[in-house]
Amino acid sequence: MKFYVTTAIDYVNDRPGLHHGYEKTGADALARFHRQRGVEVFFLTGTDENATKNEKAANAAGEPTRAFVDRHAAEFKELCETWNISYDRFIRTTDADHVRAVQELVRRWIANGDVYLGKYEGLYCTRCEAFYEESDLVDGRCTIHPTNADAIQRLEEENYFFRLSKYEPALKKLYRESPEFCVPEIRRNEVLGWLERGLKDVSVSRRNLKWGIPFPDHPDHTVYVWFDALINYVTGAGFGTDEARFAKWWPADVHVIGKDISRFHCIYWPAMLLSAGIALPKQVFVHGFLEYRGFRLSKSSGNMIDPIASAEEWGADAIRYLVLREAPFEKDSPVSPEQFNTRFNAELANGLGNTVQRTLAMIERYRGSVVPDSAGLGTSGARVREAAERAIADHDRAARELRSAEAIGAVVALLAAIDRHFQETKPWDLAKSADEAHALDAALYAGAEGVRLAAVLLWPYLPATAERITEQLGQPSPATGFAEQGRWGVLRPGTRITLGAPLFPRLELARAG
């Protein structure tokens, strides 16, 4: 089995923000989930470097464009390393194999009669690098960049056009027969609305730009950045350079993108592939925006949260957990340091951290750091086992559909069940009587096995923390082998555990008043 997942590629006109880490972590959790379950995964992320906005930003900074994009691409790579994003390739659209792939697709479109020379007269958003109709704007402004009054420009130039209108019937058929191609439903309905209004041919080139991929056989034109950018998904899989590899990995199983670029991925991209005779990806998952102080987090608005500083403040594992738990992928979500602090203390410090520390401390104190006999769980222990089995089922169902907040919630419920178990069985009281030795063993074993399973399930979101917990329990890495590790009863009596320092020390928050 194989699984190919991609993120959007990011403009390198500025430093990355928290919202970039959010998307990459969601895709990373999905990639890790599948790897853990024995699936061969290819995970692609990277940077979009041929955009005119990158060249303008470089000019404004007084730097050569290549040096400018190299510097910012390195910052996006640093984000991936800091947040422990387990990509298999970090693609840059300035990579030589990508240039070849783009030009090959353009030649295929030309050979198929889908490219013609024409004159574009209309509206262009310099921030989106996208062409718009008057009906797409609100009060003459781009809906994605409403605060940027100068974003919309009236453009008139000779371009090559792509016959997007030709593929309107095929796209309608796609969404009629495969509604799961775009999820969630609210985003698919937006796509259906665009299709119902009808598709027009779109520019596939720009003229007289110094920065970009040359249009085949026409050096005075460059390939329009959005057509260039989308092709990265096939480049990464080996298109044009390694056909055996491309046959193995393509089609992509899911493209993970933000809702501001759904039109390109859900209309342009499938039409581009149909024209080139390439199979369509299986799904596009369109996530919502992160909002801070009432506005969308974005580079163009300047409303940013630094992802590197965030990893330093809460910890790399913790910030991964916090953004995914606080902001369900299916919708727009407000985030703030205050929300992160509250969630950190409630679920990481008091929840996971305290439960692990408490469980291991009691095994150390009452059983000399050795996992006790598992015979006879008792009523309370049986409830922990039921909670664990329910958590596995609920987690996996949500995780497969990129509902990470819900998937994590299933594990939080398991940890709460372990806490209730200890409150009910009171190992500290059982330890006072030799007659209660078997009951104490059962209580401690149920708690320890529940903790082990929680760590296995949390590995896609808290990889370093999950590794630490399983190591403390004397267990193998949870990165692979879910078929063996993802069931009750794996923790063997007699296994030696190690207590260690608390995983997530509680944050001391200033109190109002």
pLDDT of residue 151 exceeding 70: no
% pLDDT > 70, the chain: 93
pLDDT of residue 2 exceeding 70: yes
pLDDT of residue 190 exceeding 60: yes
pLDDT of residue 355: 98
Quick one: DSSP state of residue 268?
Answer: I
Distance separating alpha carbons of residues 250 and 82, to the nearest angstrom: 29
Q: What pTM, to 2 d.p., does this model score?
A: 0.93
Average pLDDT of span 173-178: 98
Distance separating alpha carbons of residues 141 and 154, to the nearest angstrom: 12
Quick one: DSSP state of residue 130?
Answer: E
pLDDT of residue 162: 97
Distance separating alpha carbons of residues 443 and 381, to the nearest angstrom: 6
Higher model confidence: residue 238 or residue 139? 238
pLDDT of residue 382 exceeding 70: yes
CA-to-CA dists, residue 432 to 428, 441, 447, angstroms: 7, 13, 19
pLDDT of residue 512 exceeding 50: no
Cis-peptide, bond into residue 478, ω within 30° of zero: no
CA-to-CA dists, residue 491 to 179, 385, 431, 463, angstroms: 43, 13, 22, 20
Six-digit token pair at 315? 């910890």
Helix (H, G, I), strand (E, B) or coil at 431: coil
Q: What is the pLDDT of residues 318-329, one digit of tens each?
A: 999 999 999 999
Distance separating alpha carbons of residues 15 and 74, to the nearest angstrom: 10
pLDDT of residue 298 exceeding 90: no
Q: Identify any residues that bridge with 496 across adjacent strands, giving them in sequence order.
A: 370
Confidence of residue 132 (pLDDT cuts 50, 70, 90): low
Average pLDDT of span 203-224: 92
Six-digit token pair at 27? 């895709």
Distance separating alpha carbons of residues 459 and 407, to the nearest angstrom: 12
Average pLDDT of span 24-51: 97
Helix (H, G, I), strand (E, B) or coil at 78: helix
pLDDT of residue 61 exceeding 50: yes
CA-to-CA dists, residue 19 to 16, 25, 47, 202, 292, angstroms: 8, 10, 15, 29, 10
Distance separating alpha carbons of residues 179 and 487, to the nearest angstrom: 34
Q: What is the pLDDT of residues 455-495, one digit of tens each?
A: 999 999 999 999 999 999 999 999 999 999 999 999 999 99
Six-digit token pair at 484? 């063996």
Average pLDDT, the chain: 93
Are 225 and 51 in contact by the 8 Å Cβ rule? The answer is yes
The runs of H, that is alpha helices, within 178-239 are 185-197, 225-230, 232-237
Of 54-58, 390-394, 445-449, the one with minimum mean pLDDT is 54-58
pLDDT of residue 144: 65
CA-to-CA dists, residue 128 to 54, 226, 256, 479, angstroms: 12, 10, 18, 38
Residue type (1 letter), 434: A
Of 39-43, 72-76, 130-134, 256-260, the one with minimum mean pLDDT is 130-134
Helix (H, G, I), strand (E, B) or coil at 43: strand
pLDDT of residue 120 exceeding 80: no
Distance separating alpha carbons of residues 31 and 463, to the nearest angstrom: 12
Neighbours of 501 (CB within 10 A): 7
Distance separating alpha carbons of residues 11 and 64, to the nearest angstrom: 16
Are 98 and 235 in contact by the 8 Å Cβ rule? The answer is yes
Average pLDDT of span 489-502: 96
pLDDT of residue 149 exceeding 60: no
pLDDT of residue 513: 38
Average pLDDT of span 436-448: 96
Element (H, E) at 182: strand 182-183
Average pLDDT of span 432-458: 96
Are 475 and 459 in contact by the 8 Å Cβ rule? The answer is no
DSSP string covering 344-403: IIIIIIIIIIHHHHHHHHHHHHHHTTB----S--HHHHHHHHHHHHHHHHHHHHHHHTT-
Are 3 and 38 in contact by the 8 Å Cβ rule? The answer is no
Quick one: DSSP state of residue 15?
Answer: -
| Strands across the sheet containing 333-334 | 295-296, 290-292, 333-334
